[in-house]
Amino acid sequence: MTTVETIESHVEGAWATGKGQAAKLFNPTTEGEVATADTAGIDMGKALAYARETGGKALRALTFKDRAELLFKMSQVTHKAREELIETEVINQGCTRSDAKFDVDGAIGTLAAYAELGKKLGDTRILADGEGLALGRSPRLWGQHVYTPKLGAAVFVNAFNFPAWGFAEKAACALLAGMPVVSKPATATALTAYRMTKHLIEHAGLPAGAMSFIGGAPGDMLDHLESQDVLAFTGSAATGNKMRERKNVIERSIKLNIEADSLNAMVVGPDVEVGSEALALFLREAAKDITQKTGQKCTAVRRIFVPAKLVDDVIAELSARFAAIKIGDPSSNDTGMGPVATKAQLEEVKRGIGLLKKDADVVFGEGAIVPSSGYFHPIMLFRARDPKNAPNVHNHEVFGPIATIVAYSGDAEEAGQLVGLGQGCLVSSIYSDDKAFIERATVAIAPWTGRVYIAGAKVADHTMGPGTVLPFSVHGGPGRAGGGEELGGLRGVVHFMQRTALQGYRPIVEGIAGIKSSASPA
Ligand code: NAP
Site to substitute for ligand 1 among 44, 165, 189, 239, most atoms within 8 A of C-beta? 239
251 in catalytic set: no
pLDDT at site 274: 95
Same-domain pairing of 230 and 339: no
For 271-288, what is each residue's pLDDT tens digit? 999 999 999 999 999 999
Q: What is the DSSP string of 122-188?
A: -S-S-EEEEEEEE-SSSSSEEEEEEEEE-SS-EEEE--SS-TTHHHHHHHHHHHHHT--EEEE--GG
Same-domain pairing of 366 and 277: yes
Same-domain pairing of 431 and 455: yes
> How far, in Å, is the centroid of ligand 1 from the Cα of 386?
32
Per-residue pLDDT of the chain (522 residues; tens, 9 = 90+): 568 999 999 999 999 999 999 999 999 999 999 999 999 999 999 999 999 999 999 999 999 999 999 999 999 999 999 999 999 999 999 999 999 999 999 999 999 999 999 999 999 999 999 999 999 888 899 999 999 999 999 999 999 999 999 999 999 999 999 999 999 999 999 999 999 999 999 999 999 999 999 999 999 999 999 999 999 999 998 999 999 999 999 999 999 999 999 999 999 999 999 999 999 999 999 999 999 999 999 999 999 999 999 999 999 999 999 999 999 999 999 999 999 999 999 999 999 999 999 999 999 999 888 898 999 999 999 999 999 999 999 999 999 999 999 999 999 999 999 999 999 999 999 999 999 999 999 999 999 999 999 999 888 888 889 999 999 999 999 999 999 999 999 999 999 999 999 999 999 999 999 998 766 555
Same-domain pairing of 227 and 275: no
Q: Report the CATH number at residue 312.
A: 3.40.309.10
Q: What's the CA gap between 414 and 77, in Å, rounded?
A: 48
> How far, in Å, is the centroid of ligand 1 from the Cα of 90?
20
Q: 12, 95, 173, 298: which is the annotated catalytic residue? A: 298
Strand partners, 213: 10, 183
Nearest CA to ligand 1 atom 15: 239
Is residue 242 lining ligand 1, measured as CB closer than 6 Å?
yes
DSSP 51: I
pTM of the model: 0.95
Question: Has residue 304 been placed in a domain?
Answer: yes
Q: What's the CA gap between 128 and 510, in Å, rounded?
A: 9
Nearest CA to ligand 1 atom 23: 235
Q: Is 429 in a helix, a strand, or coil?
A: strand
Q: What's the CA gap between 226 and 230, in Å, rounded?
A: 9
Give the CA count within 13 Å in the CB-facing half-sphere of 159.
24
Q: Is the Cβ–Cβ distance between 311 and 408 less than 8 Å?
A: no
Same-domain pairing of 240 and 284: no
Is residue 478 lining ligand 1, measured as CB closer than 6 Å?
no
Q: At what angle are helices 311-323 and 277-291 packed, to 10 degrees?
A: 50
Q: At what angle are helices 97-121 and 190-203 packed, to 10 degrees?
A: 40
455 to 277, 410, 431, 433: CA distances (angstroms): 10, 16, 5, 8
Structural domain boundaries, residue 165: 42-125+157-260+483-496
317 in catalytic set: no
Same-domain pairing of 320 and 184: no
Q: What's the total number of domains in the chain? A: 2
Amino acid code (one letter) for 356: L
Q: How far is Cα of residue 474 from the mean position of the Cα atoms in its chain? A: 10
DSSP 111: H
Same-domain pairing of 194 and 305: no
The dihedral over CA atoms of 166, 168, 172, 178, expressed in degrees to the nearest 10, equals: 90
Same-domain pairing of 211 and 284: no
pLDDT at site 477: 96
Amino acid code (one letter) for 181: V
Is residue 169 lining ligand 1, measured as CB closer than 6 Å?
no
Same-domain pairing of 255 and 341: no
- 345 CA closest ligand 1 atom index: 25
Nearest CA to ligand 1 atom 43: 298
Q: What's the CA gap between 145 and 86, in Å, rounded?
A: 43
Question: Has residue 61 been placed in a domain?
Answer: yes
Q: Where are the alpha helices (DSSP H) in 433-517?
A: 435-445, 490-493, 506-513
Q: Report the percentage of the chain scoring pLDDT > 70.
A: 98
Same-domain pairing of 293 and 371: yes
Same-domain pairing of 198 and 81: yes
Question: Has residue 358 been placed in a domain?
Answer: yes
- Comparing CA positions, the residue from 492, 446, 435 lying closest to residue 469 is 492
Number of residues in the chain: 522
Question: Has residue 247 been placed in a domain?
Answer: yes
Is residue 455 lining ligand 1, measured as CB closer than 6 Å?
no
Same-domain pairing of 236 and 382: no
Q: What's the CA gap between 130 and 70, in Å, rounded?
A: 27
> How far, in Å, is the centroid of ligand 1 from the Cα of 404?
24
Q: How far is Cα of residue 75 from the mean position of the Cα atoms in its chain? A: 18
φ/ψ of 426, rounded to 5, equals -75, -45
Is residue 155 lining ligand 1, measured as CB closer than 6 Å?
no
Strand partners, 115: none
Question: Has residue 181 been placed in a domain?
Answer: yes
Is residue 217 lining ligand 1, measured as CB closer than 6 Å?
yes
Site to substitute for ligand 1 among 170, 236, 249, most atoms within 8 A of C-beta? 236
> How far, in Å, is the centroid of ligand 1 from the Cα of 433?
38
Element (H or E) spanning 60, and its range? helix 57-61
Question: Has residue 404 been placed in a domain?
Answer: yes
Q: Report the CATH number at residue 255.
A: 3.40.605.10
pLDDT at site 521: 58
pLDDT at site 2: 67
Question: Has residue 120 been placed in a domain?
Answer: yes
Question: Has residue 49 been placed in a domain?
Answer: yes
